Amino acid sequence: GKTVEVWLSAQEGICNQDGYNRPCMTFNGTIPGPLITANWGDDLVIHVTNNLESNGTAIHWHGLRQLNTVQYDGVPGVTQCAIAPGETLTYRYKVSQYGSTWYHSHFSLQYSEGLFGPMVFNGPATANYDEDLGVLFLQDWSHTTVFRAWGHKQRYGITHSLSNLLLNGTNTFDCSAHDSDPNCVGGGKKFETVFKPGKKHLIRLANVALDSQFRFSIDGHKLKVIANDLVPIEPYETDSVVISAAQRYDIVVEANAKSDNYWMRAVWVNTCSAVANDNPNSGTGIVRYDASSVAEPTTTSNVMLPAGCADEPGESLVPYVKVDVGNIAGTTLENLNMRLTHEGVFQWTINSSTLIIDWANPTLKQIFDGVDLFPTPYNVVPVDKTSPDHAGDEWAILVIENVAAGALGEVAHPIHLHGHDFWILAQGYGTHWDGTQDSFQFTNPPRRDTAILPAHGYLAIAFRLDNPGVWLVHCHIAWHASQGLSLEFVERRGSISVQGQDRKVFDETCQAWDRWESQS
Ligand code: C2O
């Protein structure tokens, strides 16, 4: 493999994504940030400079396993100290997977302010397509900063409305209803892409929403789904896909239709969301067969919104490389329940405690310092092999139950695990877990890095204990994660080791954060 070097600057600015000016955060001045692309097996060297005024930051490479490089997973308070303003941290790791993903700030709600970008890793050319159209981001967008929106939600219990839906960071917005608003300057554009007649086009769909799930479709076209997250699957054909926050689907679309223009649609799935959307039907972009045409499409869609809030059906998501879940008997972490209970107003908790994040004292640092972590008063959980030098595979099973009472339990949560793909053993929709493994699928189950914990239901996942480190598992609805809907695994503590230059970089980042904090 070769080495690919990238420079990212996290900075503040005023953004106009859809004709509305608002304060925002960007990488290198654009939303989305620059594309990072490499080949499977390459080494990435990514220099991240924090040019934010008065905020720490840290960047996570969503879905990348960080095999033996937990110190570059980018979670402040867990795997690193936050990068202080004015400082640069260089992330170094190997590209261990191929396909489509995204990078994003893992500091508070920063990615919903604009701190995210695409990642594409080339692997063996197994998929059948002619044109690669790259990553297509679907996103909800607020016209106030989300910090402000979140503050209102916390303080006044206001159900916040998100203002728009963006496709690759762009859309139009109707300013006629906002005459007196000086920020509504107009000039937003619809996302457009061009199809070559008769050719097969790869679209790398990624949902980078703060909160929303979308149903994606292209009028007059079938979608062939070939990967979920970073895992190739047996291709299946469909009229539309539902995609939750942080999920990705690679889809191939054959340009076999007859008109000049078609709408593509990212329709907000309102049954998935506790926030309202001011503009629920505006997530449209344009597919042109005739690149010179400027006309708006006149096509229609008969794709229906789903009744509930679900993932694409598990039967459809069959991994191309088959892996069965085995040797679970030896696992130390059996049937750990993360119970979501409602304690106090708008405060989510797991096992009746909330994860405490200390930007200056990450769990990994405590491990280096030999701190006695367990039991913790908050959500840090040890996972170990039954015998440290057990040669074979061992697996952990995690059953997450959504037992919150009343309206809170009606919310579904896209659950993401760091450092691993997980195997989905069961998703229970609207039904409690019976406490047994009878319904679990162990033979080549769906495998990915983000999946829905259904409303009033459960999600059972398995992962291999093959990556010593500290790994977060959390809801990827940005404000839920910030409210504490997350948990850390310390996987095989005795085998976590960060040496030499990597350790020096880790320590320097913490020292710089301490200096900055004591000055401000
Ligand atoms: Cu997309 Cu904890 O990450």
pLDDT of residue 344: 33
Query: In a structure prediction context, what are the per-residue pLDDT tens digits for the chain, which is 520 residues long?
Result: 899 999 999 999 999 999 999 999 999 999 999 999 999 999 999 999 999 999 999 999 999 999 999 999 999 999 999 999 999 999 999 999 999 999 999 998 899 999 999 999 999 876 789 999 999 999 999 998 887 666 555 555 555 678 899 999 999 998 888 778 999 999 899 999 999 999 999 999 999 999 899 999 999 999 999 999 999 999 999 999 999 999 999 999 999 999 999 999 999 898 887 676 666 567 999 999 999 999 999 999 988 888 889 999 999 999 999 999 976 644 444 444 455 544 433 345 555 555 666 778 899 999 999 998 877 656 787 887 766 555 567 888 888 888 777 777 788 999 999 999 999 999 999 888 888 888 999 999 999 999 999 988 889 998 888 999 999 999 998 877 776 678 888 999 999 999 999 999 999 999 999 999 999 8
Q: Under a CB-based contact definition with an 8 Å cutoff, are residues 301 and 266 in contact? A: no
Total-model pTM: 0.94
The number of C-alpha atoms within 13 Å of 176 and in the hemisphere containing its C-beta is 1
Percentages (nearest 5) of helix, strand, coil residues in the chain: 15, 40, 50
Helix (H) or strand (E) holding 215: strand 214-218
User: Measuring CA to CA, which residue among 422, 423, 451 is closest to residue 312?
Assistant: 451
pLDDT of residue 356: 63
Closest CA to ligand 1's atom 3 = 62
Give residues (CB < 6 A) around ligand 1: 60, 62, 104, 106, 246, 416, 418, 472, 474, 476
Q: Under a CB-based contact definition with an 8 Å cutoff, are residues 37 and 76 in contact? A: no
pLDDT of residue 114: 97
pLDDT of residue 359: 73
Scan for tokens 């039904």, then name that residue: 431
User: Measuring CA to CA, which residue among 250, 204, 272 is closest to residue 32?
Assistant: 204
pLDDT of residue 372: 87
DSSP letters, 64-75, are ---TT-GGGS--
Q: Under a CB-based contact definition with an 8 Å cutoff, are residues 330 and 46 in contact? A: no
CA of 65 to the centre of ligand 1 (A): 12
pLDDT of residue 456: 87
Q: How far apart are the first and last CA of the chain?
A: 43
Topology (CATH level 3) of domain 1-124: Immunoglobulin-like (2.60.40)
Number of DSSP helices (H) and strands (E) in the chain, helices first:
5, 32
Ligand 1, atom nearest to 486 Cα: 2
Strand boundaries in 258-417, DSSP class E? 261-268, 276-277, 284-288, 336-342, 348-350, 380-383, 395-401, 413-417
126-316 architecture in CATH? Sandwich (2.60)
Residue 146, both tokens: 């989300």
pLDDT of residue 349: 55
pLDDT of residue 334: 40
Residue 406 gets which letter from DSSP?
Answer: H
CA of 205 to the centre of ligand 1 (A): 17
Closest CA to ligand 1's atom 1 = 62
The ranges of the chain annotated as CATH 2.60.40.420 are 1-124, 126-316, 336-500
Asked whether the ipTM of the predicted complex exceeds the cut of 0.90, the reply is yes
Q: Under a CB-based contact definition with an 8 Å cutoff, are residues 80 and 71 in contact? A: yes
Cis peptide before 375 (omega within 30 of 0): yes
CA of 249 to the centre of ligand 1 (A): 17
Ligand 1, atom nearest to 111 Cα: 1
Helices (H), 298-375: 363-368
User: Measuring CA to CA, which residue among 135, 119, 305, 278 is closest to residue 216?
Assistant: 305
Question: According to CATH, what is the number of the domain 336-500?
Answer: 2.60.40.420
Q: Is 353 exposed, middle or buried (0-12, 13-18, 19+ CB in 10 A)?
A: middle
